[in-house]
Chain A
Amino acid sequence: MWKLTGGIFIGWALGSNDSANLFGTGVAAEVVKYRTAVILISIFVILGALVEGYKSMDTVGNMSQLTHMGAFIAAFSAGLCVGIFSFLALPVSASQAIMGAVLGIGMISGIPDFTKLYKVVICWVFTPIGALLFSFFLYSILGQLFQKFLLNIRLRNIFIKIALIFAGCYGSYSLGANNVANVTGVYVGSGMLSPFEAALIGSLSIASGVLTYSKKVMDTVGKKIVDLDGFSAFISSLSAAITVHLFTQVGVPVSSSQAVVGGVTGIGLKKGAKTVRLRTLAEIGIGWISTPLSSGITAYLLMRIYIALSGSGV
């Protein structure tokens, strides 16, 4: 069972980092208290993981055939990269980290199944682009309705508050459904856990990160996003949630952070304003390569060391 600690670690890191994308705006805008937000996130992450989490498990688990030890090293390496990147304040995606780690270990036992990787990489690229398109069009459509039917400032304010909570809860559900595979998908692939057990343990570990170590990131990210007006913040969060949920149906874990950046960029394009720095967009592009590469190399090296010391297989 100790081999699950690698997954629990990455789940904890994911929960503490990504919760800011979901409810950061709501907390910074004082729509919900931090304590309420983390409880809501935890509930909806667990719900999303249990209801739809199984959909992405196969993609992560079947990328390479892993032993229990291989699964542990993959999860641990991914968690380590996420932790170090976060500590260095560099953008990082748990989805990309775990994929890199699985492929890194797969390199030892032979050539991994790269055909599946193409689908995954296409989904990564289309995550910010999809969120951008959603926010661009949702802003136009919902914006017109908002402008036409909500003339009263009080009603507008109430709508925004409820909408931000809704987008936060939906985003949490999507995160649980999509990203739980990053946490425990490798254990399903190695036959250590059933999809339901993996969803439960994975979502609980994400929730532990949300509940114990998310305040700082939520304050920072939330205040950055809340510089947008309430309606724009709602649209960007909703677009990110829809995009992540959509990729769950395809069975590919994607980055919720990159979806949020795409959502915010779409608002900027619609309004003709600069909402995201070019550097942030460039960092996403670099992250598509640097994150899986780092976790892949780490996992490869750790696995090599393990094999050398124990004399066992992958």
Chain B
Amino acid sequence: MFFKKEKEVIELVEKHAEIVETCLLTAIETIDAYLAEDKLKAKKLSLETDKIETNADLVRYDIRNKLYYGAFLPRIRDDIYSLVESIDEVANAGEDCCDFFLNQRPQVPAALKPFFLTASKESLGIIKPLKEALLCFTRGECPIEVSRQHAREVGLKESDVDQIEWDLTKKIFTSSLEFSRKIHLKLCLDTIALVSDKAKDAADQLDRVTLKSMI
């Protein structure tokens, strides 16, 4: 069948985005369980996150194979793969958050836990508008301008996360904690905030692909 490869690639790109979303939602649950002191559940969920992220990698390899075996015009081929790679990096950043909590075990004071949870939900939850923007583009159900608007919304959401990060950083450093703990918590917060930064990069790449497909 003609143009079967293109159809398969788009299906895989959408599947990849679904997996990345599941990965990040599981990562949020992991952090939630960790902050709730349920280390066993957190560990189980963290392993689950790792597994899902590995699945995302496998789908990405599959996309790469199909693309470089001739799906899509060369001009757009690299852009599509870069987009998939940048979305994959969001999943990697989500996995890094779980690893940070489960491996370095930061001691989050009870007063700061709700803020860390909010930061995690906002930063890792950015996958939802990113996925929406991606599907809007791949399925072609909305005009290109709407697709680009969705991509811009990811950037706005990232700004919200930056604000949360700023406020929480201030809270950490104005607290009476030891300096080493402050630094550790700040590192933890940086790892969480990196997810939204990566999502913004992916949204920028999506916007670039959308723009290049415009006339």
Contacts and interface: CB of A to CB of B under 8 A. Distances in A.
Interface of A: 29-31, 139, 143, 146-147, 150-158, 160-161, 226, 229-231
A183 to B, nearest CB: 34
B72 interface: yes
Nearest to B214: A147
A229 B76 CA distance: 9
B210 to A, nearest CB: 9
A292 B81 CA distance: 50
B134 to A, nearest CB: 11
Nearest to B146: A151
Given A153-B140, A154-B10, A155-B140, A143 B75 contact: no
Contact of B73 (A143, A146, A151, A230): A230
Interface string B52-71: 00000000000000000010
A230 B75 contact: yes
Contact of A153 (B3, B10, B70, B143): B10
A31 B3 CA distance: 11
A229 B138 contact: no
A146 B6 CA distance: 19
B6 A157 contact: yes
Interface string B1-27: 001001100100000000000000000
Given A158-B3, A226-B75, A147 B139 contact: no
A172 B7 CA distance: 30
Contacts of B137: 153
Given A151-B140, A153-B137, A156-B213, 6 more contacts: A29-B73, A151-B141, A153-B138, A153-B140, A154-B140, A158-B3
12 contacts: A29-B75, A30-B74, A147-B144, A151-B142, A152-B139, A153-B213, A154-B140, A156-B213, A157-B6, A157-B73, A160-B73, A231-B215
A254 B76 CA distance: 34
Contacts of B140: 150-155
Nearest to B147: A151
Contacts of B171: none
Contacts of B139: 152
Given A152-B139, A231-B215, A157 B72 contact: yes
B9 to A, nearest CB: 8
B215 A161 contact: no
A229 B6 contact: no
Contacts of A143: 215
Top 10 nearest A-B pairs (CB, nearest first) are A152-B140, A151-B140, A143-B215, A154-B6, A158-B3, A29-B73, A154-B10, A230-B73, A157-B72, A147-B215
A161 B3 contact: yes
B212 interface: yes
A160 B141 CA distance: 19
Nearest to A28: B74
A157 B215 contact: no
Interface in B106-146: 137-144
A84 B212 CA distance: 40
Nearest to A229: B75
Contacts of A157: 3, 6, 72-73, 76
Contacts of A153: 10, 76, 137-138, 140, 209, 213
Contacts of A152: 138-140
B2 to A, nearest CB: 8
A67 to B, nearest CB: 52
Contacts of B138: 152-154
A60 to B, nearest CB: 39
Nearest to B142: A151
Contacts of B143: 151
Contacts of B76: 153, 157, 230
A149 to B, nearest CB: 10
